[in-house]
Amino acid sequence: QLQLQESGPGLVKPSETLSLTCSVSSGSISSSTSYWRWIRQPPGKGLEWIGSIYYNGDTYYNPSLKSRVTISVDTSKNQFSLKLTSVAAADTAIYYCARGNQLLGGSFDIWGQGTMVTVSS
């Protein structure tokens, strides 16, 4: 069963760049039926889609975050990454990576456990 694992700093200073990586195991990130996504959830609040990437590098971003977000993929490492620039306290959240499965209508069928990122000086 494919698994996802987020990694990265748990604390980022305001105005700096948040960087996270999602490692894909027991499966290939180059699957033609998979999109790789980032979602976040501020403490006590709902889910927010950040963006998606296909193995060929095509990216799709939430319009509200597009100016600050970059998602990239490294097929040699079976990983994809998130960079969010100019962070502020409002970016404090649990960040999840997930797979979008085209065989299931593009739904998020596999999720990582999530990683908490706090923006604070």
Which of 62, 70, 75, 78 is the binder for other proteins (CB under 8 A)?
Answer: 62
List the strands of the sheet with 3-7, edge to edge.
3-7, 18-25, 79-84, 69-74
Q: Footprint of other proteins on residues 88-107 (CB under 8 A)?
A: 96, 104-107
Contact region for other proteins (CB under 8 A) — 20-28, 70-78, 81-89, 108-116?
A: 108-116
Structure token pair of residue 58: 């095509």
Spatial distance between the Cα atoms of 51 and 65, rounded to a whole number of angstroms:
9
Closest by CA position to 51, among listed 3, 97, 5? 97
Q: Footprint of other proteins on residues 19-58 (CB under 8 A)?
A: 37, 39, 46-49, 52
Residues found near other proteins in the complex (CB under 8 A): 37, 39, 46-49, 52, 60, 62-64, 96, 104-109, 111-114
